[in-house]
């Protein structure tokens, strides 16, 4: 895989991550200095699944760097409706744009599509697979709030289908972390992910069904939505829907410094009463998507991606 495609967080070293986060911090400090870095650059947006934050923050990021976007629009209004293959679609759009962002319901779609294009391709979510640009903004937010080394993090909710979880868990193995995975048994991390994480020296991982058993030890609690659209059977979703909600009462045992994150959108996992507390970092996390994606695009479009 070419290093300037960003497909999974497994391909990222600590140096890669730090390069992006440091650049994002510079941009966040002085966004105006980046305003004409990529005048005339065009980013191709191919979203085969719904998106608010990811798509709009990529668009904002490209425009804030002086560039613009070309957007395939909805699947309904594109030639995909006529039966065009993903390989053909990306081959056409790479002729219009300097980099591509792809979100697709099929796991592995971004890796496959990247084989067909020469411009950098960024995976913005492939089914229940990975979402590495979300991970970059998650890491940025963790670094700002709790620091990335000697970190105890709880990752809770849909660990089976949650692509943000998979990407984050792999990326955190570059740092000295204790990862606690909290979910119903039916939504545990895929076994191959657990196996891979166990191979990493600096990472300790544990799986739990109850948040209570670990809550007081956590620096960060990363909450996720049950990914309803990925369940083959709605009845299976109904069995777990509404589990693992947190409110002020749940947090009684938590450290005062606990940072609560969520990739959003939330459904009912985090009670709105938490929004006004010092714990809540999820809106800040979403806003960090802009400087972090500006940094990623800047590095990719300048050809200055971090060395492997
Ligand atoms: C996530 C996704 O699409 O995987 N959303 C996002 O990009 N912030 C999380 C989710 O949909 O639950």
Q: Taking Cα atoms as reference points, which of 81, 129, 79, 123 lies closest to residue 99?
A: 123
**Alpha-carbon distance 6 to 130, whole Å?**
10
Residues 142 and 255 in one domain: yes
**Average of per-residue pLDDT across 102-125:** 97
CB atoms within 10 A of CB 262: 25
**184 CB-contact burial (10 Å; exposed 0-12 / middle 13-18 / buried 19+):** middle
Query: Is the CB of residue 54 less than 8 Å from the CB of residue 103?
Result: yes
**Average of per-residue pLDDT across 6-23:** 97
**Average of per-residue pLDDT across 224-235:** 96
Whole-number pLDDT of residue 184: 96
Residues 146 and 176 in one domain: yes
In a domain, 92, yes or no: yes
Residue count (the chain): 308
In a mutational test of the pocket of ligand 1, which residue from 160, 167, 263 has the highest number of ligand atoms less than 8 Å from its CB? 263
Residues 269 and 292 in one domain: no
In a mutational test of the pocket of ligand 1, which residue from 48, 134, 159, 166 has the highest number of ligand atoms less than 8 Å from its CB? 134
Active site residue 131: yes
Range of the domain at 46: 9-131+288-301
pLDDT at 235 over 80: yes
Residues 119 and 251 in one domain: no
Q: Taking Cα atoms as reference points, which of 296, 288, 287 lies closest to residue 139?
A: 288
**Distance from residue 228's CA to the centre of ligand 1 (Å):** 12
Quick: pLDDT tens for 28-77: 999 999 999 999 999 999 999 999 999 999 999 999 999 999 999 988 87
Active site residue 54: yes
- For residue 1, what pLDDT band results from cuts at 50, 70 and 90? very low
pLDDT at 304 over 60: no
Quick: pLDDT tens for 141-162: 999 999 999 999 999 999 999 9
In this prediction, what percent of the chain has a pLDDT beyond 70? 97
Residues 121 and 213 in one domain: no
CB atoms within 10 A of CB 276: 8
Whole-number pLDDT of residue 2: 57
- Which position among 64, 131, 166, 178 bears the catalytic label? 131
In this prediction, what percent of the chain has a pLDDT beyond 90? 92
Look at the chain and report how many structural domains it folds into. Answer: 2
Residues 126 and 138 in one domain: no
pLDDT at 285 over 70: yes
131 is in an annotated binding site: yes
In a domain, 217, yes or no: yes
> Under DSSP, is residue 232 helix (H, G, I), strand (E, B) or coil?
coil
**Distance from residue 218's CA to the centre of ligand 1 (Å):** 23
pLDDT at 306 over 60: no
Give this prediction's pTM. Answer: 0.96
- Which position among 10, 53, 63, 106 bears the catalytic label? 53
Residues 60 and 119 in one domain: yes
Ligand 1 neighbourhood includes 262 CB (under 6 angstroms): no
User: Which ligand 1 atom is the nearest neighbour of the CA of 49?
Assistant: 3
Q: Taking Cα atoms as reference points, which of 138, 175, 130 lies closest to residue 155?
A: 138
pLDDT at 307 over 80: no
Quick: pLDDT tens for 238-260: 999 988 999 999 999 999 999 99
In a domain, 2, yes or no: no
Whole-number pLDDT of residue 3: 67
Quick: pLDDT tens for 176-205: 999 999 999 999 999 999 999 999 988 899
53 is in an annotated binding site: yes
Q: Which residues pair with 293 in a beta bridge?
A: none
DSSP code of 11?
G
Residues 24 and 124 in one domain: yes
**Alpha-carbon distance 154 to 162, whole Å?**
14
| CATH code for the domain in which residue 163 is found | 3.40.50.1370
Take residue 151 and report the two structure tokens written for it: 């970190």
């Amino acid at each position: 895989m070419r290093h300037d495609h960003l497909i999974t967080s497994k391909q990222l070293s600590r140096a890669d991550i730090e390069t992006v986060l440091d650049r994002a911090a510079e941009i966040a400090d002085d966004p105006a200095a980046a305003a004409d870095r990529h005048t005339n650059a065009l980013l191709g947006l191919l979203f085969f699944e719904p998106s608010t934050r990811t798509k709009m923050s990529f668009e904002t990021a490209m425009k804030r760097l002086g560039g613009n976007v070309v957007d395939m629009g909805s699947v309904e209004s594109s030639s995909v409706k006529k039966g065009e293959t993903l390989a053909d679609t990306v081959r056409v759009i790479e002729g219009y744009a300097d980099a591509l962002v792809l979100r697709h319901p099929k796991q592995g779609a971004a890796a496959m599509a990247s084989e067909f294009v020469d411009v950098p391709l960024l995976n913005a979510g492939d089914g229940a697979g990975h979402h590495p640009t979300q991970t970059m903004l998650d890491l940025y937010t963790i670094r700002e709030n709790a620091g990335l080394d000697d970190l105890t993090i709880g990752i809770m909710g849909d660990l089976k289908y949650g692509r943000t979880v998979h990407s984050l868990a792999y990326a955190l193995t570059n740092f000295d972390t204790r990862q606690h995975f909290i979910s119903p048994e039916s939504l545990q991390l895929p076994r191959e992910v657990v196996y891979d994480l166990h191979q990493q020296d600096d990472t300790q991982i544990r799986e739990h069904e109850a948040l209570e058993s670990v809550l007081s030890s956590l620096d960060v609690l990363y909450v996720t939505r049950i990914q309803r659209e990925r369940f083959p059977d709605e009845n299976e979703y109904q069995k777990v829907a509404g589990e693992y909600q947190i409110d002020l009462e749940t947090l009684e045992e938590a450290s005062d410094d606990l940072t609560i994150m969520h990739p959003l959108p939330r459904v009912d996992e985090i009670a709105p009463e938490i929004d006004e507390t010092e714990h809540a970092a999820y809106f800040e996390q979403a806003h960090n998507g802009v400087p972090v994606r500006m940094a990623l695009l800047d590095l990719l479009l300048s050809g200055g991606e971090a060395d492997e």
